[in-house]
Amino acid sequence: MNEAVELMDALKTGIKSSQFTDVVIAPPAPYLADLARQKGEVLKIAAQNCSATDSGAYTGEFTADMLQSCSVDHVIIGHSERREGFGETDSVIAQKLKRALSCNLRVLLCCGEPLEQRESNTHFEWVERQLNSAFAQVSPSDMANIVIAYEPIWAIGTGKTATSNQAQEMHAFIRRLVSSKFGAEIAENTPILYGGSCKPDNALEIFGQPDVNGGLIGGASLDSASFLAIVEASEISRGING
Cβ neighbours, 10 Å, residue 153: 23
- For the cut 60, the answer to whether the pLDDT of residue 158 exceeds it is yes
Which tops the pLDDT comparison, 134 or 241?
134
* CA 83 to chain CA centroid, nearest Å: 14
What separation, in Å, do the N-terminal and C-terminal C-alpha atoms of the chain show? 38
**pLDDT at residue 132 is higher than 80:** yes
Provide the pLDDT confidence category of residue 240 given band limits of 50, 70 and 90. Answer: low
Amino acid at 218: G
Residue-level pLDDT at 57: 85
As a whole-number percent, the residues of the chain with pLDDT over 90 amount to 78
At residue 195 the predicted structure's pLDDT band, cuts being 50, 70 and 90, is very high
Specify the pLDDT at position 1.
Answer: 59
Q: What is the pLDDT of residue 194?
A: 96
Domain map of the chain by residue range? 24-49+61-241
- The C-alpha atoms of residue 215 and residue 231 are separated, in whole angstroms, by 9
Collapse the DSSP code of 20 into the 3-class scheme (helix H, G, I; strand E, B; otherwise coil) and give the result.
Answer: coil
Does CATH number 3.10.580.10 belong to domain 24-49+61-241?
Answer: no
From residue 210, how far is each of 18, 167, 172, 213, 220 by CA, in Å?
20, 10, 8, 8, 23
Q: Is the pLDDT of residue 242 over 60?
A: no
Using one digit for the tens of pLDDT, what is the confidence trace for 11-58? 988 987 767 789 999 999 999 999 999 888 889 999 999 999 988 888
Q: What is the pLDDT of residue 217?
A: 93
Instruction: State how far the Cα of 92 lies from the Cα of 183, in Å rounded to an integer.
Output: 26
The residues that are catalytic are 79, 151
Q: What is the pTM of this model?
A: 0.95
CB count within 10 Å of CB 181 equals 15
**What is the CA 217 to chain-centroid distance, rounded?**
8
Residue pLDDT, tens place only, 56-83: 888 989 999 999 999 999 999 999 999 9
- Average pLDDT (101-129) is 97
Q: Residue 228 — pLDDT band, cuts 50, 70, 90?
A: very high
